[in-house]
Chain A
């Protein structure tokens, strides 16, 4: 028996997956940055229906500390000096008071109207794109076939094993690489079924017009200011996902992964039994 390694190219991503993926990259990137512009109009977060202005649970502001302007960020009872990043940022000599810095917002300069225009335009792209993906994914079995974990994958032993190999940056090879592993499946499911829909639901909850249409939705989130907070936290969770996702794309074969999301073709190593 002699094992021989060979590369086999499989079709990994369908056209709809690839198109909706890249549209999502564009829309989420622009939504995030225009969202930070909107956040900067009142860089503080609260829980409940109303703002308790003296007790935001997150705030970014400029304060005079020992005669010098500093950017101060508070989270709960904690206080951080974030000069140059949050609260007080910009080039030396041209610093300005703003929540997130210029490089994180669209447009870079302060404009709530422009930020809102970008945000609500790409919100439509994001929602329509998401609906296309979900309808296609459910109708053609992509969600069930590729994303729902199998019973075997859900065994605690298997999940622990996956976590252990992931932590060592060992990625599946051969036939195992043909399908998503269980951590991948669960992560993608949390993103597409929880975080992304949560962005839409909390976003709509901040609309005073929509509140009158569906009063139960805003109650579900605990009031308008809680909805704004959850909108922000969910966006932060998406940013964390994107960072980890990009790191793993690089670590598990950047060119191969990029090719599969652009052309659909993905190369896997298989062990050929030449007994």
Chain B
């Protein structure tokens, strides 16, 4: 190929590449286009629901598989005053509230939770960022707690309100961490409120005193620093209405892929 022709081709190639990149950024910013991309999330969720038994168990591992370096993400130490007070007295004053659409609201101490029906499991934690860690969790079975509180028939979702403000700059007050799951996941045998991790009391960076484990979903669903469990009929009006801190910021609520 002649040099001038080669230079012309390379220049044209570079220009096309730049155009392609700028085009992709503009399309991403275009509401109609990103709305079209979002449609695929419904297909993916539908396909996953179609082929997956909602009651199937997540893989459980052996003690030898546990990560010595389980990574902590999100809030590592809540700066919220109420939490700091609880932490200072080693959670002696901690009460888990269970309310909303229930017949019998509950207020549980950590001793109450430790006395409740429990489950221990060694599972893999998959972060949406791509990494995985394996840890051992012991906690109260959510299904048993919900049975005690007696869900009303109109309850559809269980919302977990957390102690940590992950985004203090959120002007609309939606900076506090929260998550939600449907009743199928809430009654799944592996869904627990963990108070122990790797045979020790749950450390602060992993969500002390109580963290949700909802296996088969990405890491951000496993809400840390759980203070308040609320049974609701709809997720509207909570946070920005998408069912969780990260779902409010564009991540998928069902968190299955």
Contacts and interface: CB of A to CB of B under 8 A. Distances in A.
Interface of A: 30, 33, 38-39, 41-42, 44, 46, 49-54, 102-103, 106-109, 111-114, 116-118, 120-121, 123-124, 206-213, 215, 218, 224-225, 228
Given A206-B126, A209-B216, A210-B48, 4 more contacts: A117-B40, A117-B250, A121-B36, A212-B56
Given A208-B58, A209-B52, A212-B216, A51 B256 contact: no
A117 B41 CA distance: 8
Contacts of A210: 48, 51-52, 256-257
Instruction: With a 10 A CB-CB cut-off, give which of B67, B126, B130, B133 has the most chain A CB atoms.
Output: B130
B58 to A, nearest CB: 6
A114 B34 contact: yes
A165 B17 CA distance: 34
B131 A51 contact: yes
Contacts of A54: 69
Given A41-B130, A50-B132, A228-B130, A114 B28 contact: yes
A214 to B, nearest CB: 8
B24 A108 contact: yes
Contacts of B128: 41, 112, 116
B124 A49 contact: yes
A50 B67 contact: yes
Contact of A207 (B57, B129, B257): B257
Contacts of B57: 212
B40 A49 contact: no
Pick from B52, B132, B217 the residue with the most CB of A within 10 Å: B132
Contacts of A121: 36-37, 39-40
Given A208-B126, A212-B56, A117 B37 contact: yes
Interface of B: 17, 21, 24-25, 28, 34, 36-41, 43-44, 48, 51-53, 56-59, 61, 65, 67, 69, 71, 124, 126-134, 215-218, 249-252, 254-257
Given A42-B129, A51-B71, A114-B34, A207 B48 contact: yes
> What does DSSP make chain A's interface, helix, strand, loop or mixed?
helix
A28 B217 CA distance: 27
A109 B134 CA distance: 31
Given A113-B251, A120-B41, A49 B65 contact: yes
Contact of B132 (A41, A51, A111, A118): A51
Nearest to B51: A213
B69 A118 contact: no
Contacts, number: 132
B59 A207 contact: no
Nearest to B128: A112
Tell me which of A109, A207, A208 has the highest count of chain B C-beta atoms within 10 A of its own C-beta.
A208
A33 to B, nearest CB: 7
A50 B252 CA distance: 23
Contact of B59 (A102, A124, A211): A211
Contacts of B51: 210, 213
B198 to A, nearest CB: 13
A51 B37 contact: no
Contacts of A50: 65, 67, 124, 132-134
Nearest to B215: A208
Contacts of A207: 48, 256-257
Contacts of A224: 124, 126, 132
B223 to A, nearest CB: 16
Contacts of B217: 208-209
B25 A107 contact: yes
12 contacts: A39-B130, A42-B129, A50-B133, A108-B21, A108-B25, A114-B28, A117-B37, A121-B36, A208-B216, A209-B52, A210-B48, A210-B257
A209 B55 CA distance: 11
Contacts of A228: 130
Interface centre among A38, A42, A50, A109, by most B CB within 10 Å?
Answer: A50
Contacts of A215: 59
A53 B71 contact: yes
Contacts of B17: 103
A111 B44 CA distance: 20
B34 A53 contact: no
B216 A42 contact: no
A124 B43 CA distance: 9
A110 to B, nearest CB: 12
Contacts of B131: 42, 44, 46, 51, 53, 225
Nearest to A204: B257
Contacts of B254: 209
A275 to B, nearest CB: 39
A207 B44 CA distance: 11
B12 to A, nearest CB: 14
